[in-house]
Amino acid sequence: MNLSNAGISDNKINGIFKKFQNKDKQIAIDLNLSDNVLTDNGVLQLVSGIKTLFPNLTQLSISLSNNQIGDKGLANIFQMIKQVPNLSQVSLFLSGNNFSKNGFKCIEDMKNVNSLQKLHLGFNNFQQSIELIKSLIKFIESNRDLADFGLYIDHSEVGNQGTSYICKLLQSFNQLSSLTLHVDQNCLTNNGILNIVRSIVQNKQIRHLNLNLCNQAVNNNNYTQNFYLDSYYNVISQECVLDIINIIGAHLKLDELALYIKHYNKITYTNFQKEGYDALLNNINNNLIELQKSINQNLKQIKQLKVIA
């Protein structure tokens, strides 16, 4: 149900549930409430209604991005995940709210959620991403059997140093079979990107991988118009991309791969290290023949393959 940008405030939440029929038989909810004016009170009503009215719920996808939700609302959302007894698949998109760095303690309290098999979390454009990841590490330590995990933290100021926490998170799973990781526009370069990929392939049982490492390249248009954003752009070289393809091909037996790895040639990358983002405006075309050869050699066994380079 798409109710995005519909002017929904806290006092309209109960009316939403009237739109659902046969609530006691419903096993899945997909609800988009992004770009509204909901606060913690509205979230409390929302989770209370879900817990009370949908006893057989197993799949829940909610977007609450760009509302006015704080730490109390966040805590209620994650408490609900544990309190709905048969909930096995959860997707939450929560970018653009008012969470503090201490708000994610509620995630750490979700211990041994045995029914949960899938968890996807969206926190793009979020400055507290490291605190989120730290809490997720503790969550995974007591929920290691999660099979499907997704984390969307594009444009979240992670930096190469912050990738150490992402790596620790990725190394915490026991039987991860599906991974979605979006980390574009996080000031990442070759070293940080490669550290992430090396941690991913330690999960040998992964069969489905969606990896957005760089899908936005610096060019004359966006550099002049959105200068304040450019400092977040990921910058990786073609040599790094070839390493990524080789590592994934050598260590994982994938059925499906979506890989976003826009990159720069070796000369441009070297100049970037010396001169910064200005050097990227003079990028010479990459050697696409070499890239395609590497893809054919290392990823040919993958049934569903999408590479954006």
pLDDT of residue 109 exceeding 90? no
Cβ contacts of 264-267, under 8 Å, gap ≥ 24: 264/217, 264/235, 264/236, 264/237, 264/238, 265/237, 265/238, 266/237, 266/238, 266/239
Tell me, yes or no, whether 96 and 4 share the same domain: yes
Average pLDDT of the residues in 273-283: 81
pLDDT of residue 224 exceeding 80? no
Tell me, yes or no, whether 266 and 133 share the same domain: no
**pLDDT score at 87:** 92
At residue 17, φ and ψ (nearest 5 deg) are -65, -25
Most confidently predicted of 11-15, 83-87, 167-171:
167-171
Name, in order, each residue with C-beta under 8 angstroms of 265's C-beta and a sequence gap of 6 or more: 237, 238, 283, 284, 285, 286, 287
Residues 44, 156, 247, 144, CA torsion sign:
negative
Look at residue 63 and tell me if it is in a domain: yes
Instruction: Name the 3-class secondary structure at 221.
Output: helix
Tell me, yes or no, whether 197 and 129 share the same domain: no
Q: If pLDDT is split at 50, 70 and 90, which confidence band does 31 have?
A: very high
Tell me, yes or no, whether 211 and 261 share the same domain: yes
Tell me, yes or no, whether 219 and 301 share the same domain: yes
Mean pLDDT of the chain: 90
Look at residue 67 and tell me if it is in a domain: yes
Q: What is the CATH number for 70?
A: 3.80.10.10
Look at residue 174 and tell me if it is in a domain: no
Look at residue 166 and tell me if it is in a domain: no
Q: Based on the structure, what is the number of domains in the chain? A: 2
**pLDDT score at 278:** 80
Q: Give residue 114's domain range.
A: 1-146
Q: In degrees, to the nearest 5, what angle opens at C-alpha 211 toward C-alphas 206 and 215?
A: 170
Look at residue 161 and tell me if it is in a domain: no
Among residues 112, 127, 146, which one ends one of the domains? 146
Tell me, yes or no, whether 293 and 200 share the same domain: yes
| Cα-to-chain-centroid distance, residue 4 | 20
Tell me, yes or no, whether 36 and 123 share the same domain: yes
Among residues 84, 116, 146, which one ends one of the domains? 146
Tell me, yes or no, whether 141 and 196 share the same domain: no
Look at residue 181 and tell me if it is in a domain: no
Tell me, yes or no, whether 55 and 129 share the same domain: yes
This prediction's pTM:
0.93
Tell me, yes or no, whether 12 and 76 share the same domain: yes
Among residues 88, 112, 146, which one ends one of the domains? 146
Q: If pLDDT is split at 50, 70 and 90, which confidence band does 284 have?
A: low
Look at residue 156 and tell me if it is in a domain: no
Tell me, yes or no, whether 44 and 125 share the same domain: yes
pLDDT of residue 209 exceeding 90? yes
Tell me, yes or no, whether 127 and 34 share the same domain: yes
pLDDT of residue 24 exceeding 90? no
Residue with tokens 């979230």: 43
pLDDT of residue 101 exceeding 80? yes
187-198 pLDDT tens trace: 999 999 999 999
